A and B are shown apart, each in its own frame.
Chain A
Amino acid sequence: MSGRLRVLSAGPGETIQDAGRYGYLRYGVVASGPMDWIAYEILNRALENPRDAAAIEISRAGIAVACEAAPLVVAFGGGGFIWERSGARLSTAGIVRLEPGEHLRARAGSSWGNWTYLAIAGGIDVPRVLGSRSTYARFAIGGIEGRALRAGDALAACASDAQPQTGALLTPLLERPKGSIRVVLGPQDDYFTDEARATFFTQAYTISTRFDRMGYWLEGPRITHSGGFDIVSDGIPLGAIQVPGAGQPLVLMADHQATGGYPKLGTVARADIGAFAQHRPGENVRFEACTVDAARRALLDVYASLERPLSRASDEALASSNLIGGVISATD
């Protein structure tokens, strides 16, 4: 008998996500996928899963799950969340083997992070819809019945022969993001005044409480259009910084629509989109202009880091208060 995860409690924003739904943007189907793709990818790599294996994305509302029927090896991490196994605190990221009856619980840390991830060895086994297991709740496709997880859901894993070593996962990629968020200008940067562009890259912007998987609104100095703000619709990539008429930017995230009709000042570099996603409402963000080449190099650097073996602490260390204190104090 194979093990499964039973959801004991879940907030409204916990969804199954894989690497994303590709090939259907031309029909208006958004890509979805994880908000912090780097955290998601670290867990799948650590479990020797396929790169696009489905995992649970957990919002600040948190989740509690129980292992049922047979042991399960799971990996968790991202966003500096607090993780507990049957009441005992774990590190912020790690791999554990859960025995039937054991619980795993995630809740947001006190200072940063919106999203954390829980992956199972083999990946969560739900049907693919248009080639992907990602949940797109607004359109009710993917995941479990196209909806967010709720108490009572049972999640089985696809088969896996991997025997990943358990323990804490230590990587700077899962630490609190520092520094500014890189942005490639365009494709409609010429719809804004020079002053507006300068403002965007020199002033701090605050993440608004209007934020979800579709997009994050920013509050801060108004971005002035040089002319009109209606454009004939064109394509939207992940991370597009769209500026509607009122001049407050909206950064389009994993569930963004495929096309749209507002000018886009720039696009958040893929290397930094996960870090951006982890900023909470009320937190300040600064943006830094970079070239396409620089954004590409930054992305290749992230992949190079992902290819390096993760440093792992032992099981004892995972449960040891010293290490936990050390890991958490750096981030929480």
Chain B
Amino acid sequence: MPASGCGPSQRPRFLDAGESALVVEFGRIVEPALHDRVLALDAAVTKARIDGVIETVPTYRSLMVHYDPRQLGREELARKVQLLLARTTSVTIAPARRNVPACFQLPYAEDLTEVAQRLHVDEAHIVERFTQAGYRLYMYGFLPGFAYLGRLPHELEIPRRETPRSPTAIGAVQIAGEQVVITGVAMTTGWYMIGRTPLRVFDLERETPFLFDVGDEIVFEPIDAATFERFS
């Protein structure tokens, strides 16, 4: 196993993902301070508008910089990123806080009873603990608008299902492992759907198709089923 658990204090590593993408790896673990550094560099690279940089992809632990090798060589890009890194070491970007109304009652909390049984706690306690915490949007992936949030309070951690459940609805609030996701589309899933938001996290008709950005802090506000229906 290679060195793991590199903390945020360590120097980031520059790794090549072909001749058209450079990975700036801050570590190999999930850790808010490490993700802060990803976000700071992401903002700095975006702001710098380096010729030849196509787009950046922030993840839990790294920033992938996609570039056009016709305009920009690897070494030149690495030099520019290194300069930006030096300037952003102590920068922390304050997260935007997003309040997300969500209903944790039937018919929207499809798997809440099952989660309560598996964790041996009552449903009200799950909702209370779940909505007390704030969740960082660490990254998108898997499908468009599929946002990975973390981290779930320890006592709510539940292993992923061995076999996927039937498709969940758009806006399903789901948990598994230490993660929380809000889905932008209906999909079969190995996660547990404990609630649903009436917000459309992804809507092509909207000027900003994606409601949230990587780095946002999501706080769920419980609403009852009647309120949910008024929203929709």
A-to-B contact residues, CB < 8 Å: 22-30, 129-130, 138-139, 141, 184-188, 190-191, 226-228, 231-240, 257-260, 264, 267-270, 292-293, 295-296, 299-300, 303
Show 17 residue pairs from A and B whose CB-CB distance is below 8 angstroms, ordered by the A residue: A25-B66, A26-B56, A26-B58, A27-B209, A191-B2, A226-B1, A228-B1, A231-B28, A234-B59, A235-B59, A237-B66, A259-B140, A259-B141, A259-B142, A269-B18, A269-B19, A292-B74
Q: How far is the CA of A227 from the CA of B73 in the complex (A)?
A: 33
Residue contact A292 to B145, C-beta cutoff 8 Å = no
CB-CB < 8 A to A300: which residues of B? 69-70
CB-CB < 8 A to B143: which residues of A? 28, 138-139, 257
Residue contact B144 to A24, C-beta cutoff 8 Å = yes
Residue contact B144 to A28, C-beta cutoff 8 Å = yes
Q: Nearest 5 pairs between A and B by C-beta?
A: A227-B1, A235-B64, A267-B18, A259-B141, A187-B15
What is the chain A residue whose CB lies nearest that of B1? A227
A277 to chain B, nearest CB (A): 15
Interface of chain B, main secondary structure: loop
If A228-B1, A240-B17 are given as contacts, then 11 extra A-B residue pairs at C-beta distance below 8 Å, sorted by A number, are: A23-B54, A25-B57, A27-B145, A27-B209, A139-B143, A141-B144, A185-B16, A186-B16, A234-B23, A235-B23, A270-B19
CB-CB < 8 A to B228: which residues of A? none
Residue contact B21 to A27, C-beta cutoff 8 Å = no
Residue contact B139 to A264, C-beta cutoff 8 Å = no
CB-CB < 8 A to A227: which residues of B? 1-2
Cβ 8 A contact of A26, one of B55, B62, B204: B55
Q: How far is the CA of A190 from the CA of B62 in the complex (A)?
A: 16
CB-CB < 8 A to B18: which residues of A? 184, 237-240, 267-270, 292, 295
CB-CB < 8 A to A292: which residues of B? 16, 18-19, 74
Q: How far is the CA of A27 from the CA of B20 in the complex (A)?
A: 19
What is the chain A residue whose CB lies nearest that of B144? A29
